[in-house]
Amino acid sequence: MHRQQRLLSQIASSLLTIVLPLLLRLLGVSWINAIAIGVIVGLAGLILTSSLSRRVQSFSTWIAYLLVAIAALLIVLFGIPQIKENFQAPELVYGYVGGERYDLLLRNNKVKQLLLNADLQLTEGTVTKKGSISQLKFLQSSRTSNQSLDFIWTGDAPIAEGGKQLIEAQGKRVLENEATLSDPLVLVVNKADADTLVANKFFATQSFNQYGFTHTVDTVKLADLLEGNLTWKDIGLNQYASVPGVIMSNARKSNGGVMAETLIGTVWHNMSLGSLSDKSGLQTSADISQFQPLPTTTPPNIAQKMKQLRLRSGFAESTSSKIRVQLEEGGNPWALTYYSVGKQITQANSNFTLVSLSHTLINSNQFLSFSEQGSKLLQIIQSPEFQAVAQEYGYGNPKGNWIVLPDPSYEAVRSLTGIF
């Protein structure tokens, strides 16, 4: 009888040692704590249910009670806090993000898991898709709503500086202002037109096909053409009747348009410094010894040229689908946009190719955090795991032969683009 009782005691205690840790782990307790509690409780159960002599039983019972007390203490110190943390809802994070990065941040399953691991939650109700310039305008007009913001994920450094000024003027502290994803400006070009431009020596062949580039163009030559003094026929594109232009985003709404205008305006400014604008034939970057950033106030002649370029350049939203539709309509051979957007366009339609610029601007996608939750989100975005996912979307700094032009000030960008 005693032998059978001991066997049942051992079986019950063994089951308790196995089942209790599994149950605690399911409730959120770490494996180390769950196993320790299970073993201690199992030993206590074994002692209490074993049939021993009266003298030994009395001593063993006190040991069992001590083990139960230790197990209870472990549950109070480690088990209950971990269980509460496991069942606690993730913290909601509120902010604004540009359209190109919205899907990456809210709809990618790998990113969702990274957020969940950090006890953060982003939803379509807490994160609003809003272009970088629209973000600035909203920050300027909505003082009360801005108090609940945890972050904005906006455009390049000049635009982020504008957002920082607006937020701080309202008494809200900017905890961090960090560059996140690199995204250079490139040309997306109709393949047939690209072949023609290579034959006419407007484009040069490039061997960076692993990044999607087939050709490169001298940015000064491109900007000189866009001044409007030449025709499409002068570079061999006979099917276009309008004065040369380029598809780009609306700089009054999108940082992509701001950067496109800033790139062209910077080149025009440097051409004017060297008195190159009125020379016949297409000028190249070899004619400019050193590029200077845009002045704080846009010269009238450049402002007028920019106005004319806007009139003949179809504006699209900064999304690949909108720009691709305009390219497919055939009124313009090329679009000046982010590499990430261009990569999506060429993947969706094989009639287009990527052309790198000899001189470009690189968007840094600045992240401004205003709370602890915003800073936690920034840490996730800066993590190697997130960066690897972002590269699948075309973010990063692809290999090219370009030179990055000097960053302009926020005042210079605002003056050139007229964003306010």
DSSP letters along 197-233, please? HHHTTSEEE---GGGTEEEEE-HHHHHHIIIIIS-GG
Residues 179 and 382: their CA atoms lie apart, in Å, by 9
Enter the tokens of residue 387: 């960066």
- Identify the pLDDT of residue 88: 55
Neighbour count for residue 413 (Cβ, 10 Å): 28
**Residue 249, H or E segment:** strand 248-249
Residues (pLDDT < 50) of the chain are 1, 53, 55-56
Tokens 């846009």, residue located: 298
Whether the model clears a pTM of 0.85, i.e. scores above it, the answer is no
Q: Is 254 helix (H, G, I), strand (E, B) or coil?
A: coil
Instruction: Enumerate the H helices of 1-79 as residue ranges.
Output: 2-26, 31-49, 54-74
Angle between helices 31-49 and 2-26 (to 10 degrees): 160
**Residue 306, H or E segment:** helix 300-312
DSSP label at residue 329: H
Domain 183-363+399-417 falls under CATH 1.20.120: no
Break the chain into its structural domains and give their ranges. 2-87, 183-363+399-417
- Identify the pLDDT of residue 56: 45
- Identify the pLDDT of residue 55: 47
Enter the tokens of residue 420: 């306010």
**CB of 217 within 8 A of CB of 333?**
no
**CB of 250 within 8 A of CB of 322?**
no
User: Which residues have CB under 8 Å from 296's CB, separation 6+?
Assistant: 409, 411, 412, 415
Name the amino acid, one letter, at 325.
V
Enter the tokens of residue 206: 């490039």
Enter the tokens of residue 123: 């939803």
Q: How far apart are the first and last CA of the chain?
A: 92
- Identify the pLDDT of residue 53: 47
- Identify the pLDDT of residue 122: 87
